[in-house]
Structure formats: C-alpha cells, structure tokens
Amino acid sequence: MLEQFLNHIREHHLCGPTDRILLAVSGGIDSVVMLRLFHEAGQPVAVAHCNFQLRGEASDGDQQFVEILCRDLGIPCFLKRMDTAAYAETEGLSIQLAARALRYAWFEEVRVREGFDRIATAHHLNDALETVLLNWTRSANPDGLAGIPVQQGAIIRPLLFATRAAVEAYAAFKDFAWREDASNQTDDYARNFIRHQVVPRLKELNPSLEQTVSRGLASMEGVLSLAVAGLEHWKAVYTTATGNRIAIRKDFAAAPHAAAILARYLRPFGFHYSQCEGMTNALAGQPGKQFLAEAYTVMIDREALILTPRRVDWEAVTLATEHQHVVLGDWTLAVERNEAGQPLMGGAWHATVDADRITFPITWRRWRAGDVFYPLGMSHGKKISDFLIDRKVARADKAAVTVLEAGERIFWVVGHRLDDRFKVTAATKQVLTFTIRAHIL
C-alpha cells in the first residue's frame, strides 16, 4: 500500500518530500493508517487531535491513545478539547456540523501558527462514495457528483485511492492498533445508514462499485474544471462589480440553462436553485422584486439583477473630529485636511470641501424623504428624491444612498454630488477631503 500511497501523492501533486504535513488523527483505523504511511515514507509530519467531549471516557481514551502513539513514533502532537455540544447549541448547528466547523478551524489555526504546508485528512474512496450518495439525497447541486476533492486549498486527502477494505486489510497485515468509535456501528446518522444499508445493496449490482465510482469521480473533476472555466467567462461577460454591488446583465437569461448557470454563480452567496429559477422568470416583468439569502439580497432592476450585502437598518453615525474614521454598514468614512491649492482627489467616493464651511460633528446617515441639498453648480435647493430620479439611479441602489451633513445641512450625497454651498473657491484656505471606502465582496 505504501507504493500506491506515494504514487497517489505524486500523481495529484499533494505535497513535496520536504513539506511539513499536519495530520488530522482521531485514533480510528483510517487516520492511524494514514499516520503510519506518512511515517514510513519519512515525511515531516505532526498530529492534530480534537477531543470533542461527546463520548465521555471514550473521547478521553481516544486522546490518550493518540498521545501514546505519537510519543512512540517520536511525532509532535497538538491536542484540543472542544465543548462541541455548547458550540452546536450557540450556533444552531447539528453536532456533526459543529464538530466539523470546530476541527477545520482549529486545524487551520495550527497550520498557520506552526508553519505547516498542508493539512491531511484520512478520507478514503468509500467516504467519497458515501458523500456522493448523501449529497444527492439532499441537493441537486452537480458538485455533489464530485464527492470529496483530493485537494482543497491547504487540505489534502492522500488516502482517496484506497477502499475501506484495503485500509482495513493493511492495518490487519501490519498489526496496527486503533480506536473504534461505537457510534460508527449504528444507523443513527444518515452517512452510517448509507454505509450499512445502501452501499451493500449497490455492490450486489456491481461488486467493483468503489473502483467504478473512482473512475467516475476522476471524470467529473475534469467536467467541473471545465465548468469553472466556463463560469469565469460568463462572469466576465455578464457581471460588473462596483464597490460592494454586483450587477448581472439581464440578457444572461437568453442563454440555455440560464437558471442553472446563475445558481452556480450565486451559490457562494447563499442562494439556491429554485430562487435562481425565480429570478430568471421575474426578469420579464417584476422589477423591484427581491430574493433574500442569509447575508445577501438580489433585486430585479430595469436592466440587471443587483446583488448586494443585506443591510440592517443603519443608525446614523457621527464623525466627532477630523482625526477619526467611522463605519456605517458596509462602508468606512475617513477625512483628511490639506492646504488649498493642492490637486484634489477625484472620483465618486471622494469629496473635497472648504474646511471653513464645515463644523464638526459630521453626521453620516441614509438619505430620507424630504431631504434637500444644493447640487454642485445649482443656486437653489433640490430634493434628493428628485435628484436621484433625474440621474436614473437604479431602484436597488436608491435605498443604499447616504449623505453627510454638518450643522443639519447636507454637503455631500455620497457617491453622487457635492453641495454647491461647500465647494472649494479661490478664497478657500484649507480643504477637507472626505473618503468613502467600500468593503468589497
């Protein structure tokens, strides 16, 4: 098995011979075999073990076993006790999802802090098969066909070439000791049900099921790589990012499989396929309709879908002096004083005014119905609502427009127009430049 193990690592370029690898070792048979193979290969490794405190003395026994194994092999061992049940309750997660989130976050923390090149987990071919079946009972996402990726960022899966039976046979041949998790023998969890009830029936139809799936997964990885490249082209053609706003041209809907492509693009933002079908259908005649994910909103506008972070009701914030910066929603405001006569900063997100006309504190807030200002170049006031209509500001963007005011007089409609009463003139001695920076998606 060692030769197959090393060939798999070389074929997929998982690590170099001198790379330092952090091994996720639970004490179970899979992770023990992975540890032994890396150790036999002479790879520089260390072990990370999570005690999730979910099985009482058994959890402590797993930890003790891993500590002793690492000591006997002369391998550094990092240990972490986690209150998984409390975390699951606080975050509203299942125990399984909570444990997964905790362990991967801690693995990455150790990797960065201790200077490891990779994190290795002991997933094997049967895990990939079970993942495919599990994914397709929960979601129509085509990525589910790819199972478990052999590499994902800094995480590598060096055992994905091997079946569970091969791992068990190698452990028995080498007379390795390991810890057995009794919960793996029950059908209380969906994955265990698939492992014990579904896969054996499928193997009656195809005794070489794992090998067949392995070839299929390799093909699917290639297909998905092409899909990723195609999506990048789609993004370049149809999307435009401005600050923290992304516009998706509505003519994307004329292409075949428009909803499926949109769903693939919007999935990282939390939108699912049925919502993307709704967006595509709404383009024909439902401007203003909104679709919500946990952290983002898509609004149907005249010429585009508008994707923005969801905004809670913003409270007005105050810039007490010119020597501070403040945050409002997804934006940061800062101010700088300079002598007049220097080149002025250009662009929609900078406003330079006569410093003598500004009195602190400055208030930064959303515009309100009835707000009036004097647009630069005009000698009379204009309602901001009318100003935005004249500029044909998209409906999705109007609600996000903010203003700066000093002494209850608006001097900048942020990103749009300065107030004429605060402009720099030949008599100006000093200027204040206000700069807004967006937190980019």
Annotated binding site for ATP: 26-31
- Please check whether residue 22 is in contact with residue 48, taking contact to mean a CB–CB distance below 8 angstroms: yes
Question: Three-state SS for 82?
Answer: coil
Q: Which residues contact 187 (CB under 8 A, 6 or more apart)?
A: 193, 196, 197
Omega into 309 within 30° of 0, i.e. cis? no
Residue 60 tokens, joined: 């402590």
385 touches 369 (CB < 8 A): yes
Q: What is the edge-to-edge ordering of all strands in the sheet holding 430-438?
A: 325-328, 331-339, 430-438, 350-354
Give the Cα separation of 221 and 233 in Å (integer).
Answer: 19
DSSP state letter for 355? G
Q: DSSP for 22-86?
A: EEE--SSHHHHHHHHHHHHHT--EEEEEEE---STHHHHHHHHHHHHHHHHHT--EEEEE--HHH
Q: Is 225 strand, coil or helix?
A: helix
Cα distance between residue 53 and residue 294, in whole Å? 30
Work out whether strand 151-152 and strand 45-51 pair parallel, antiparallel, or are unpaired. Answer: unpaired
Q: Binding site: residue ranges?
A: 26-31
Query: What does the alpha-carbon distance between residue 159 and residue 121 come to, in Å, rounded to a whole number?
Result: 8
